[in-house]
């Protein structure tokens, strides 16, 4: 099916025995239907546009702010709302590896310094109206199983303390194509909508909201451009450009903004802007390529983390949910020990700055190592006296 010289997403989605309507929450069948309904409500991806209000064109847009030294929150990047307590975004570099040589070690942002905003008209939080919503973060979970060739970015899930209200037109979850999980096809040459804050910034330094049409690039163009820029193969990304006709002010979108496609009255996530090459000393190249991280091959992780959000951790092997207090407490509770992944725990452990302390699980209190295995429960769950932990001398 052709549309203005570019394929629609219908052709991409009608693969094998999967049909177009099999992606809608009402009409999925069998296991796919059950999984999708468990994961997201039937209102995901629905638009109720209000003329003149760009937020209602991309209501799944989340804005991630980080608290700086003066105590103010500064816009960092975008993410996409998957549910009331789940936001998906990206981070630079590989999981477990420091982003730069100066960083020294791999770091996960301190969730206590992060705030998520929705239905924002700009990155200036002081000019928001009654539709804006904000939430602090319970914990942040990085994804550690990207394609081996991917050294430039990895996904991160933000689990929110305060559930977002998704009943109005300004804040909605996007739909995830769970029935296509595991497929490796990329949506080259398709048409999308992408929205978020834009560069260049306004005179006060804040960024306004923009919504644009995006045309997916050809596979050869994406591959050649990616190899030229990053000296890696492009198996894990697809690319696209903003349609100049929808961008009269020559603006550019920022990292974490997403491309979405419509399907049977729902909008679905296609990819996340992970890499945005720009010429030297230039923050915005309106005609440049965006490289989007593909989510299809990683939907199991997203699905499992989603259903355990916001106060539980999903074991990678089984998808079972365990308490956050059981994560990074030196006692494996998941069959694959994913809850004690040393890369995750080194980055998440807020007690790790002091070698004489031990963390009582993810976000738990810190106790002295002298309190370990002393036959007294010092951690709330007693993990400091767990027989496995004490017998192994961990």
Closest CA relative to residue 181, chosen from 18, 60, 7, 308? 18
What sign does the dihedral 272-274-280-281 (CA atoms) show?
Answer: positive
Torsional class of 328: left (φ above 0), alpha (ψ -120 to 50), beta (otherwise): left
pLDDT for 11 equals 44
Question: With the C-alpha atoms ordered 182, 187, 192, 195, is the resulting torsion angle positive or negative?
Answer: positive
pLDDT value of residue 35: 46
Beta strands in 130-227 (DSSP E): 133-142, 153-160, 191-199, 209-216
Please report which confidence band the pLDDT of residue 41 belongs to, taking 50, 70 and 90 as the band edges.
confident
Domain 2-301 has CATH 2.40.440.10: no
pTM of the model: 0.86
Distance (Å, whole) CA 305 – CA 321: 8
Residue 25 has pLDDT above 80, yes or no: no
* 15 confidence band (pLDDT: 50, 70, 90): very low
pLDDT level of residue 38 (50, 70, 90 thresholds): very low
Among 59-73, 79-93, 303-317, 373-387, whose mean pLDDT is lowest? 373-387
CA distance 187 to 216: 7
pLDDT of 20 > 50? The answer is no
Backbone dihedral angles phi then psi of residue 124, each to the nearest 5 degrees: -85, 105
Q: Which residue reads 């937020």 in tokens?
A: 55
Return the half-sphere exposure (C-beta side, CA atoms, 13 A cut-off) of residue 72. 7
Chain region(s) in the chain for CATH 2.40.10.10:
2-301
Q: Where are the alpha helices (DSSP H) in the chain?
A: 9-13, 30-39, 219-230, 299-308, 342-348, 387-392
Q: Of the candidates 248, 276, 152, 254, which has an alpha carbon nearest to the alpha carbon of residue 194?
A: 254
Question: Which of 11-20, 51-60, 191-200, 323-332 is predicted least confidently?
Answer: 11-20
């Amino acid at each position: 099916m052709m549309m203005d010289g570019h394929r629609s997403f219908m052709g991409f989605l009608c693969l094998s025995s999967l049909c177009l309507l099999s992606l809608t929450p009402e009409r999925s069948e069998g296991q796919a239907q059950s999984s999708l309904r468990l994961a997201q409500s039937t209102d995901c991806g629905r638009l109720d546009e209000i003329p003149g209000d760009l937020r209602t064109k991309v209501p799944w847009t989340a804005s991630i702010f980080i608290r700086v030294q003066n105590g103010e929150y500064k816009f960092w990047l975008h993410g996409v709302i998957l549910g009331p307590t789940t936001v998906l975004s990206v981070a630079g570099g590989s999981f477990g590896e420091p982003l730069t040589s100066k960083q020294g070690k791999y770091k996960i942002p301190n969730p206590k310094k992060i705030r998520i905003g929705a239905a924002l008209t700009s990155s200036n939080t002081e000019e928001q109206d009654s539709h804006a919503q904000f939430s602090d973060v319970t914990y942040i979970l990085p994804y550690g199983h990207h394609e081996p060739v991917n050294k430039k970015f990895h996904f991160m899930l933000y689990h929110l303390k305060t559930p977002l209200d998704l009943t109005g037109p300004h804040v909605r979850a996007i739909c995830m194509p769970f029935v296509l999980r595991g497929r490796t096809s990329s949506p080259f040459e398709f048409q999308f909508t992408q929205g978020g804050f834009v560069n260049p910034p306004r005179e006060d330094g804040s960024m306004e909201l923009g919504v644009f049409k995006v045309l997916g690039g050809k596979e050869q163009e994406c591959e050649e451009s990616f190899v030229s820029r990053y000296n890696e193969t492009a198996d894990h990304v697809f690319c696209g450009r903003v349609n100049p006709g929808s961008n009269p002010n020559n603006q550019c979108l920022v990292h974490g903004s997403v491309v979405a496609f419509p399907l049977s009255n729902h909008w679905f996530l296609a990819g996340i802007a992970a890499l945005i090459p720009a010429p030297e000393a230039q923050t915005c190249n309106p005609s440049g390529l965006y490289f989007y991280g593909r989510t299809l091959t990683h939907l199991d992780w997203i699905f499992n983390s989603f259903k355990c959000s916001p106060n539980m951790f999903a074991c990678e092997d089984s998808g079972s949910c365990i308490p956050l207090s059981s994560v990074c407490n030196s006692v494996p509770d998941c069959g694959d020990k994913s809850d004690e992944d040393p890369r995750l725990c080194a980055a998440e452990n807020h007690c790790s700055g002091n070698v004489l302390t031990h963390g009582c699980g993810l976000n738990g209190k810190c106790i002295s190592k002298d309190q370990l295995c002393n036959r007294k429960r010092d951690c709330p769950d007693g993990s400091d006296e767990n027989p496995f932990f004490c017998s192994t001398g961990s």
